[in-house]
Amino acid sequence: MKKFSIVFSTAMLAMALLPSAGSAQNNAAPPADSTKPAEKPASPVKPAAPTLDFSGVVFGNYQYQGAAGATKGQNKFDVERAYLTFRMPAGDHASIRVTGDLFQQTSSPGDAYYKGWVLRAKYAYLQYNFITPAKSSDWGVLGRIGLVHTMFIDHEENFWPRWLSLVPVERAGYFSSADAGIASIVSLPNKYGELYTAVTNGPGYASRETDRFKDYQARLTVTPLAASDLSYLRTFAVDGWLYRGMIASKFVTPVAGQVGPVGSGLDRNRWGLFAGIRDPRLTIGADYASRTDGGDTGLNTAASPRGVADSTGRLYSAYTVIKPFQIADAHSTIPLGIVARYDNVKPNSDVDAHYNIYIVGVTWDLSKKSSISLDYQGQTRTGLTGVPRTRTYFLHWVANF
């Protein structure tokens, strides 16, 4: 009985010390809801990655030489150029463009290793949009620095198909299509034109800077009929452009026997006028350009003092690209085109000597971004000995992507 009392007392004490069933149930954590997924901590919002815009164009030809002489019958397949263009934003109002020029290097410093396909930069610049037009009636202003367009050649390539031949002023060697420097574009309201200005090194994108002089250039394009109801007239453009430059004298670094260095520069000036329309069914263009180049005379010695002589030349050109079936019927899908061009180039206006370039052919659009052509390109000369006579038959092709 005594043992039973001890056991009973011990059991009662343990029950008194333990919490009640209801109290334990109230204090316990609520069971997890298995039907509701566990919440994850919010992750920081990542900014959108800049978008890369990649495009390009590649063009080439098969050509057959028809002129008499040692080159008659020569023929080859040729890939003339591949331009690879990358564009990307560079922060608010800023962007970059890099265009690689893939071409076949045929000249070298005597080492065959350097002959082959070469990739170099043609355009590589930072662009900043100072004023971005919100609507067509607004002005626009932007600036560029780096390897930039010169003021006219890229603009004329909107009219003349570059994949058939260089535009007239570039083919005649007036200046390069790109150069290192700084440029600006002011867009006129309502698509009435633009003003392009630039200051560049001078030698062109294929060369490093070679002297201390800079070239100054400007182009004003006016499209006075931009509001016309006739599509042919809306793209009618009139251009005036000016190029003022200098190059160093060949006596800038004298050699033994010469009287001293010549620090003054030699003129390298050009100007021109252009007019054209560029409707998809009909393109017409006409150029007039003039050039003045200074040159050293004498040997820069006491017996033969150095002098300066100026040489002035000029060119005029006219061309057209016609889609006859689409002119006759705006809904026609026959992509046949006819192309014709004539250049007359006079290297020195004081001498009655010149050379002519003739281009005539037919084109066919394989798609909206690729075309082929069969064309003839000839070059004749009058009173010149350093310009070859050529007759070349081409199968040209181009693909944009």
What average pLDDT does this structure show over 331-338? 96
Q: What pLDDT does 40 receive?
A: 57
User: Which of the listed ranges 29-43, 62-76, 275-289 does the model predict with the highest average pLDDT?
Assistant: 275-289
pLDDT tens readout for residues 175-201? 999 999 999 999 999 999 999 999 999
* Neighbouring-strand partners of residue 6: none
> SS3 of 300, please?
coil
Q: Which sign, positive or negative, has the C-alpha torsion 388, 390, 395, 396?
A: positive
- As a whole number, the mean pLDDT across the chain is 88
User: Quick one: which of 187, 193, 185, 118 has its CA closest to 149?
Assistant: 185
Assign 223 to helix, strand or coil.
coil
Rg (CA), the chain: 36
Beta-bridge mates of residue 78: 61
Cα 367 from Cα 369, distance rounded (Å): 5
Counted residue by residue, the chain has a size of: 401
Note the pLDDT tens digit of each residue in 233-292: 999 999 999 999 999 999 998 888 898 899 999 999 999 999 999 999 999 999 999 999
pTM to 2 decimal places: 0.82
Torsion, Cα 369 145 277 321, to 10 degrees, reads -40
Question: Which residue type is seen at 94?
Answer: A
- CA 60, 333, 395: angle at the middle one, nearest 5? 20
9-20 confidence digits (pLDDT tens) = 444 434 444 444
- The tokens for 25 are 């149930």
Each residue of 149-159: pLDDT tens digit? 999 999 999 99
Least confident of 3-7, 68-72, 199-203: 3-7
Which alpha helices (H) appear in 297-388, and where do they start and end?
A: 324-328
The answer, yes or no, to whether residue 166 has pLDDT greater than 50, is yes
- What are the boundaries of each domain within the chain? 52-400
Q: Supply 238's token pair.
A: 């009139």
Q: Is 300 left (phi over 0), alpha (psi -120 to 50) or beta?
A: left
How confident is the model over 298-322, as pLDDT tens digits?
A: 999 999 999 999 899 999 999 999 9
pLDDT category of residue 231 using cuts at 50, 70 and 90: confident
Candidate CATH numbers 2.40.160.10, 3.40.190.10, 3.30.300.30, 3.90.1150.10; the one for domain 52-400: 2.40.160.10
Is 147 within 8 Å of 121 (Cβ atoms)? yes
3-class SS of residue 383: coil
Would you say 150 and 119 are in contact if contact means Cβ atoms under 8 Å apart? no
Tell me the Ramachandran region of residue 333: left when phi exceeds 0, alpha when psi lies from -120 to 50, beta otherwise.
Answer: alpha
Q: Is 399 exposed, middle or buried (0-12, 13-18, 19+ CB in 10 A)?
A: middle
Give the model's pLDDT for residue 62.
98
Task: Tabulate helix, strand, coil % of the chain (nearest 5).
Answer: 10, 50, 40
Residue 344 has phi, psi (to 5 degrees) of -125, 120
